[in-house]
Amino acid sequence: MPQDTDRLTSGDETGTQEAGAEPGWQRKIIHIDMDAFYASVEQRDNPELRGKPVAVGGSRERGVVAAASYEARKFGVRSAMPSITAKKRCPDLIFVKPRFDVSESVSRQIRKIFAEYTHVIEPLSLDEAYLDVTENLKGIATATEIAMEIRARIRAETNLTASAGVSYNKFLAKLASDHRKPDDLFVITPKMGPAFVENLPVGKFRGVGPATTAKMNKLGIKTGRDLRAQSMAFLQQHFGKAGAFYYWIARGVDDRPVRANRVRKSVGAENTFATDLFTFEAARDALSPIIDKVWRHCERAASLHPPGTAAGSGRCWSPR
Ligand SMILES: [Mg+2]
């Protein structure tokens, strides 16, 4: 449970109207994110890994860290980091192979919990989702109470912890869940939103990756406050279509709805090679089994969900 309960009962419940908030209705959005998901699942099921730096992924020379436990993160181990770098930073790092069947079944468990509160659920990955609880199925008065209940149930039913962010839009709900991670809950009210954004470095914003952060920094844009000082025209000139998104998030505004049953737009497969490939022929030969793998997935999906059905509308295109 959150230790600082003050901020949950301060009376500034998200979604309620208050002085200074915009007129009209406001969404109530919860972003739920499991803590160090793949690594926590392994630590849960193997007591010997608890309290130790664990990396899920391949330990081989060309392996990549898929997820790191909080103990490993203290050493600077991060997901997507080459395993060899991770091992240098943390010599005692324990590598564990991922068990996707287990993580998928935990994912189904948490989605079942979400579904008791709302039908408007947008999963972002196995362990992360946005929930629109403006209308909730249990008639619970506040989004904060719902988030507290969901966190408690996830802990009770999966023996794993999740962080939750509560706010009036997706952008802020995500920032909120990150704010007190792990195993906590944070609320950004309409009154807090703009100031919260102002004080953050732009690299913390979802949708602003390392390349965009570098570009913004070069233009003198380091924080939300700097971003807010730019005109719409300036941001569109430098960032194209994304410029308008940046303009509004700098003001704590994000109108994107939570989209249930989002159609899958892409599917991929990958392999990390033991040695670099330098010629076209070598790359072509190595690509062939990967393309086959993607194509097999598409064929399987197409037979399960024929085009025209909700889940089948993401059509596959033959790579050959
Ligand atoms: Mg997570």
Question: What would the pLDDT profile of 104-159 be if each residue is shown by its tens digit?
Answer: 999 999 999 999 999 999 999 999 999 999 999 999 999 999 999 999 999 999 99
| Angstrom distance (rounded) from CA 94 to CA 83 | 11
Residues 6+ apart with CB under 8 A from 5: none
DSSP letter for each residue of 181-194: -SS-EEE--TTTHH
Whether residue 23 is predicted with pLDDT greater than 70 in this model: the reply is no
pLDDT value, residue 188: 97
Give the CATH number of the domain where residue 159 resides.
3.30.70.270
pLDDT value, residue 11: 34
pLDDT band at residue 10 under the 50/70/90 scheme: very low
* 142 shares its domain with 227: no
pLDDT value, residue 62: 79
DSSP letter for each residue of 100-145: HHHHHHHHHHHHHHHHTT-S-EEEEETTEEEEE-SS-TT--S-HHH
Q: Give the domain-ending residue among 83, 99, 115.
A: 99
- Cα-Cα end-to-end distance for the chain: 53
Instruction: Using the mean position of ligand 1's atoms as its centre, give its distance from the Cα of residue 67 in Å.
Output: 9
* 31 shares its domain with 141: yes
Q: Check if 128 is active-site.
A: yes
Following CA atoms 115, 27, 156, 138 in sequence, which dihedral angle do they give, to the nearest 10 degrees? -60
Are residues 156 and 20 in contact, defined by beta-carbon separation less than 8 angstroms? no
Q: Give the domain-ending residue among 76, 99, 122.
A: 99
State the average pLDDT for the chain. 87
List the single range of 7-11, 89-93, 103-107, 237-241 with lowest mean pLDDT. 7-11
Instruction: Using the mean position of ligand 1's atoms as its centre, give its distance from the Cα of residue 222 in Å.
Output: 26
Q: Give the domain-ending residue among 48, 82, 99.
A: 99
Per-residue pLDDT reduced to its tens digit, 289-311:
999 999 998 888 887 766 555 44
| Angstrom distance (rounded) from CA 113 to CA 156 | 11
| Angstrom distance (rounded) from CA 86 to CA 65 | 8
Instruction: Using the mean position of ligand 1's atoms as its centre, give its distance from the Cα of residue 308 in Å.
Output: 33
Instruction: Using the mean position of ligand 1's atoms as its centre, give its distance from the Cα of residue 34 in Å.
Output: 4
Between 9 and 84, the higher pLDDT residue: 84
Range of the domain at 55: 38-99
Rounded to the nearest 5°, which phi and psi values hold at 137?
Answer: -75, -15
Are residues 34 and 160 in contact, defined by beta-carbon separation less than 8 angstroms? yes
| Angstrom distance (rounded) from CA 216 to CA 203 | 9
* 113 shares its domain with 32: yes
Between 1 and 115, the higher pLDDT residue: 115
Give the CATH number of the domain where residue 219 resides.
1.10.150.20
Decide if 205 is inside a domain.
Answer: yes
* 32 shares its domain with 126: yes
Which residue in the list 42, 61, 128, 157 is annotated as catalytic?
A: 128
